[in-house]
A = this chain, B = another copy of it.
């Protein structure tokens, strides 16, 4: 489990940097940057834990998240102009984070004996709600509702995990395969500018 823990921390770091960059772009002060980085990084797991009554919740039960976020914010301050050139690296981190958060959330849901459908939703919440909070607090329509389909990638990875789990695939192997599915879908989506279809009109409509 320790490799996954490291990846969890890396994902937290990447999410915190992504939040800090948005807040800096909005000219927030240092405290505002810290808060936005914080909610982006731990918001998903926090909502999941409150909803399933898992106390202490993520960042209260483990201070490593806070330390990671703090370091990520300092890192962002120091290297702001450099990070723009590191967008591929950040995208990699972000994708790893999303993949791991999805599976960690899903596994936590299952460990709380939740129905598999609910557990998958917990995985998706873990992965995407931080970004939603970031956008609500910076007064934007959450990005995820408009053009990102990475929630669908999380969903796909979660379903793969449950299927492999059903066939008794060993847990760590399953985790890696499913996380890879999330990451690969996300990379393909971004590279080929795919979007989920929007419904222009209903299937019986004219226009």
- Give A residues with C-beta under 8 Å from B: 23-24, 26-33, 35-36, 46, 50-53, 55-57, 59-60, 63, 66, 77-82, 114-115, 117-118, 132, 136-142, 144-147, 149, 151-152, 155, 195-199, 201-206
How long is the Cα–Cα vector from A148 to B133 in the complex, in angstroms?
A: 20
Q: Do the beta carbons of B145 and A204 come within 8 Å of each other? A: no
Copies of the polypeptide in the assembly: 3
Q: Do the beta carbons of B138 and A78 come within 8 Å of each other? A: no
Among candidates B29, B198, B205, residue contacting A198 with C-beta atoms closer than 8 Å: B29
Q: How far is the CB of A96 from chain B (nearest CB, A)?
A: 21
Q: Do the beta carbons of B28 and A79 come within 8 Å of each other? A: no
Given contacts A201-B81, A202-B77, is CB(A32)–CB(B115) below 8 Å?
no
Q: Do the beta carbons of A115 and B63 come within 8 Å of each other? A: yes
Q: Do the beta carbons of A196 and B31 come within 8 Å of each other? A: yes
Among candidates B50, B137, B146, residue contacting A136 with C-beta atoms closer than 8 Å: B137
Residues of B within 8 A of A77 (CB): 199, 202-203
Please name the residue on chain B nearest to A125 by beta carbon: B35
Q: How far is the CB of A104 from chain B (nearest CB, A)?
A: 18
